[in-house]
Structure 1
């Protein structure tokens, strides 16, 4: 699973759960005052090695509601429901943390996804069967 796949899936899920609300990627650090709807952006992506063959991928997303004066009462619950478990190309991923907060009078949800992956090593050549054929030995004199 790549970061782009996770970001695209997050955007698609927001569009599916909020079909009548504009969903757009966040541009810059603060939205323009006339922008309405929901923005999303990837805050961080990390890949950490746990062992030689095992890694941890961590992704943090910020989802913002852009109209601080008109926040639907059910918005936090709807965002929790939409983003708690997402399906990325047939594999479900569950958020490890969902947090609703307000920053500078703009409500936002922070969503964290953590996945453990294992590096698939190349398969070693398996032992092959030896074929043995009986041969006649000739005695020679010197």
Structure 2
């Protein structure tokens, strides 16, 4: 799974759960009320030679600091707990609602373990056996 795929899945999930609220990628300051999302970090760590851990951290913000709906944290938790990435459900490993400089935000973490599939070796081919007759010789 790529970082773009998971970012798109978050945008799609937010759009489905909040159809009447603008969903925007965070690009700095915005005067438009709504919900913004941004990737905070993405990591790929090797555990073994064939196993990796992918970690993604996202920040979700309500863009109006004065007018925050009371049930917004619960609705965001529900929407982002499990997202669908191209037909595969991914569950958040951590969801946290906090305030930074008097601005509320939700931090969402997704962690996936992946295994590198080894290339398959060519299969053994079948050997053909033919019976042979041995001649006995006398000396």
Unaligned runs of 5+ residues in structure 1 are none
Residues matched between the structures, number: 138
Match of 2:13 in 1: 13
1:1-142 paired onto structure 2 within 5 Å:
1-28=1-28, 31-32=29-30, 34-137=31-134
For the residues of structure 2 that align with 1:90 and 1:21, how far apart are their CA atoms? Answer: 25
For the residues of structure 2 that align with 1:16 and 1:126, how far apart are their CA atoms? Answer: 47
For the residues of structure 2 that align with 1:124 and 1:16, how far apart are their CA atoms? Answer: 44
Question: TM-score normalized by structure 1?
Answer: 0.91
For the residues of structure 2 that align with 1:94 and 1:37, how far apart are their CA atoms? Answer: 24
Q: Deviations over 1:7-55 (max 9, x none)?
A: 0010011011111111100003xx23x2311100000111110001100
SS at structure 1 position matched to 2:93 = strand
- Runs of 4+ aligned residues of structure 1 deviating over 4 Å after TM superposition are 137-140
Shift of 1:135: 2.4
